Amino acid sequence: MTRRLRVAVLLSGSGRTFDNLLAQSRAGVLPIDIAGVVSSRGDVAGVVKARASGIATVVLRRKSFADAAGYGHAIGELLDRFNVDLAVMAGFLHLWSVPARFDGRVMNIHPALLPAFGGPGMHGDHVHAAVLESGAKVSGCTVHFANDAYDRGPIILQRTVPVAFEDTAELLAARVFAQECVAYPEAIALFAAGRLEIVGQRVRIAAANP
C-alpha cells in the first residue's frame, strides 16, 4: 500500500529538482509532502525558492564541520527535526556520513549512468563533458540510495538518452535532466509503495500489487 511520505530535500544550487518534486507533490501526482530543505549554501536560488514556497529551510555549510561524520550528524539532526521518512539529495554537492538510522532512507540522483562518470568532482557539466570526451554513445541518469561514498550506493533505477556527435555539455545536460524529472519521482513513488528492497549492493523492485 502506498503511503504519503514526509520528505526533506538537500540541495546546493538552483533548485530545479526541488521545483519538479514540489510541483508533482502539489499536483497530487507524487505522494510526498516536502517537510524541509537543507542547503549547503545560502546564496543559491534553491534557498530562495524553498523559502518562497513556505517550506522550512536551513543552511548548513560543510566548512562549519571538521569532517563528513560531523556534517552527517548535523544533517541527521535536521532530518529528525523535520520528522522525515525519506531524504532526497537534489544537487547536493558535499559528502556526508549518513547516520545508521537513515540507512536506506536517503536517495541521490546523478546525471550519468553509474558506476561510470561518478565520484568526487563529477557533478553538473563536468559529468556531461566527461561523457562527451569518452566517446560514449549513451548517457542518462541514475537514482540510487546514498551511502558514505560519492555515487556508490545501491542503484534503484536508470534512464538513458542517446549522445549525439554534435552535442555540447549543455545540450546533453538538458536531455538528461528531462529524464531526471521522470526517474526521481518514479523512484520515490516506488519507495512510498514499499516496493524497494536493498539486497547487498543491489535493489530489488517488487511487482506492484494487483
1-102 and 109-210: identical CATH topology: yes
pLDDT of residue 65: 96
Q: What mean pLDDT comes out for the span 87-102?
A: 95
Domain boundaries, the chain: 1-102, 109-210
In the set 94, 110, 123, 144, the catalytic residue is: 110
- pLDDT per residue as tens digits for the range 25-66: 999 999 999 999 999 999 999 999 999 999 999 999 999 999
Architecture of the domain delimited by 109-210: 3-Layer(aba) Sandwich (3.40)
- pLDDT per residue as tens digits for the range 193-206: 999 999 999 999 99
- pLDDT per residue as tens digits for the range 96-149: 999 999 999 999 999 999 999 999 888 989 999 999 999 999 999 999 999 998
Q: What mean pLDDT comes out for the span 63-86?
A: 97
Tell me, yes or no, if 126 is annotated catalytic.
no
pLDDT of residue 210: 67
CATH class label, 1-102: alpha beta
One-character DSSP codes across the chain: ---PEEEEEEESS--HHHHHHHHHHHTTSS-EEEEEEEES-SSSHHHHHHHHTT--EEE--GGGSSSHHHHHHHHHHHHHHHT-SEEEEES--S-----GGGTTSEEEEESS-TTTT-STT--THHHHHHHHHHT-SEEEEEEEE--SSTT-SPEEEEEEEE--TT--HHHHHHHHHHHHHHHHHHHHHHHHTT-EEEETTEEEEPPPP-
